[in-house]
Structures are given as structure tokens and as C-alpha cells.
Amino acid sequence: MKTSFLTLFAALFLASAAFAQPANVQVKKYGAEPLRFSSVEEWECVHRPVIYDFFQREVYGYMPTRQVPMSYKELCSGPALGGKAIRKQVSIRLEGMTTPILVLMYMPANADGPVPAFLGMNFKGNHQIVDDPAIIISENAPKGKELGEDPTRGAAASRWPLDMIIDAGYAVVTIYRGDVDPDFDDGFKNGIHPAFYAKGQTQPEAHEWGTIGAWAWSLSRVMDYLETDLAIDTKKVAVIGHSRLGKTSLWAGATDPRFAIVISNDSGCGGAALSMRKHGETVGVINKSFPHWFCDNYNKYSNNEEALFVDQQGLLALIAPRPLYVASATLDDWADPEGEFLSALNASPVYELYGRKGLAASKMPALHEPSQQGDVAYHIRAGKHDINSYDWSQYIKFADKYFKK
């Protein structure tokens, strides 16, 4: 059964409305400080709606509430990975888009029922996550010079250790970002945005979604499909992303409570890192280099991070009380590992309101010593800006705490 955005947000609203509004509670600028409140009631009725609206209006942009007709079609299915997995490919077609979103799934072949899953986007096409000639190549996939030094099939296999994930009992579900919206400044003429324009509209308004908002929206549409697929336990889906797609997974997790775990790998500025630190990539740099990622209102904060009503710890707090994992790498100073850690730490008091445990570490954990005792987890590993088998091994271990009880 498909679930609309209106239904999702109505559920969140009704959950908050179950409490009476606390009296004499003042909303003020939160900055980058720890988010400390007196009760779940105060958080859900007063502060959460204000913080959520800020990120919608000023950072990622409002997603559309209007629905467009959407259909699914299973394209093919068969054994894969030497027989240990079942590969399934599905198309999602939305009215107004000329090409479909291609969903690639690998599921444990020996499963005796619905399985938990990791859902995330990939950078250059489904065919790059593994050298599998049966994977359909998207019409939108990069070609020729766009691929750089990457060959076509299996180029990103190190980022998707399918054997490890399947052996652990999880499915992998992925889509190519370019099937939703291209990752360049095209004036929003291609991709999903025109399907939602009002009559005469040619680009999003300053408060409307950019590319990251569109990518996050599409992950929810994949979740809509998964709710029709009996092979997946949709109560146990972790949304995951690396780098700009880590920013995407965080926003997807904040906007859609169906994602049971949210994972951010090296997401940096506009993701998990505190922007007010101005360390590594900054708001000004990101808006200049990637003007399509965020809504136009975000330009107000270029070289003006102090004006932010709340920093990225507010984004992480929106995910509470669902489990959250933030990770960094030693050679990825551009993504500001310390800022990512501090953001997770400063969101933790909101988790504690729910009787959950926030980040257990009060100081930056040592290299390769993950802090996973709480419902907010963090690790820093050696190496460059990337997602690799070490990262995945930790995410699987964390997911096991919740999905393998």
C-alpha cells in the first residue's frame, strides 16, 4: 500500500498534538549548542516543529505535498552472487518523468521470510555497485568522459560489499541518483522537479526543494514500493548514504519516520557536521560549488553561518528516537570529523528525553574504536573520504542490535 506525504506528516502532527502545549516555553535561537529540553512534550510540541520548519524553509526546501501518479513494474529477477542472493530489478514510473527510477535489489537467497534491508543511493549507476552483467544500465547513467577513469561495471564495488551484507542476512536496495535529479546545475529543467511545477513555473521557489531534497524524496518513494514487496521487512529498513548522499540519507530520515535506522557516512557540511565551526567545506563553498543541492534560501548563510537559527545537531535530533549512526574518516578533514562528532553529541539530549541513550562517548573516540553503546553511534576510521568494508561492518553490527533481537 502506498503512503502519501500528507499521511506521514499528519501522523507526526497527530502524535505531537496528543500533548497539550506546554505553558511559558520560549523558543529562541538554538545555535550549535546541545539541545536540552525538559520533556518529550516540550520537544515535540514546541521545539521540534520550529526546527523542522527551519530546515525545510531555509536549508533543504519544502518537498511537494501534491501527489503524482506512480506505478511499479518488476523487470527481472534471478539468482546472483554465486547463488547466495536473488537479484531483482524494478522500475518506478512517475507521471511527468520521461525515464523511470530503476531499483536494484539483492536479497539473501536462503531467507525464509521478509528480511531487513539497507537502502541508499549510488553515484554513477546501479551497474557500478557490482560486476554483474545482468544489471540494467539506466538511460541517465554517465557515459564516456563523464565516467572519468571508472570502467562501467563494478567500479564502485568496494563501496558496496554485497557478499558481506548478504551473508549478514540483509538485503541491499539502491537507486542511481541521476534517475531522480542530475547532480549539476541545470536550472532544474531535468529530473523530477518539472513534474511538480505549478502552471507557468520554470524553477523551484526560494523555499522549495533542491536536488538533495529531491533525492531524499525519492528514497521515500522507493520505501513506498518496498511496502508492496513481501520479501522486505519494511519495519527494518536502514537508510544509508555517503558524502552528499549522506546528507540525503539524513534528510530522508528526518522527513520519513518509516526509516528505522539512519546512517550518515562522511556527510560533512549540510549533513552531520556543525556548520558554525566553518571547518573544511563551508556553507559558502558548498553553495558556490553546488548551487543546486539546497534551496535558494540557504544562500543567506553563505559566509554567514552565525545567522543559522539552529545548526546540524538540530537535523540529527529530528531523527530521534530512532537509531542514528554518524561516521568519519581521518583523512577527510574537508567533511570535518570533529564537527560531525560534536553534532551527534549535541543531538543526544533529545534521545535521552525518550528514555533512549544518546552518544555514549563524551569525547572523540579513538581510531577504530566505535562508540555504539547508545542509540546514537559514531566511529572514525583511518583513510580517505570513502565508504568501505570497515564502515559497513560497523553499520551491520549496529543494525543487528535492533533488527536481530
List active site positions.
Answer: 243, 385
Instruction: Give, for 283, the enclosing helix (H) or strand (E).
Output: helix 283-289
- Please give the grid coordinates belonging to residue 167: 551473508
Q: Cα separation of 221 and 90, whole Å?
A: 12
Instruction: Please state at what angle helix 211-226 crosses helix 244-255, rounded to 10 degrees.
Output: 60
Query: CA nearest 199: which of 100, 382, 66?
Result: 66
Contact present, 168 and 156 (Cβ < 8 Å) = no
- Please give the grid coordinates belonging to residue 49: 516543529
Query: CA nearest 126: which of 96, 160, 99, 95?
Result: 160
From the CB of residue 78, how many other CB atoms can be counted at a distance below 10 Å? Answer: 10
- Which residue is associated with the grid cell 530522508? 252
Instruction: Give, for 241, the enclosing helix (H) or strand (E).
Output: strand 232-242
Q: Cα separation of 327 and 108, whole Å?
A: 26
Strand ranges, E, within 135-207: 171-176
Query: CA nearest 3: which of 261, 228, 177, 192?
Result: 228
How far from 390 is each of 167, 174, 375, 380, CA to CA, in Å? 15, 20, 20, 10
Contact present, 175 and 102 (Cβ < 8 Å) = yes
From the CB of residue 367, how many other CB atoms can be counted at a distance below 10 Å? Answer: 10
Query: What strand order describes the sheet that includes 324-329?
Result: 70-80, 85-94, 101-108, 171-176, 115-122, 232-242, 261-265, 324-329, 376-381
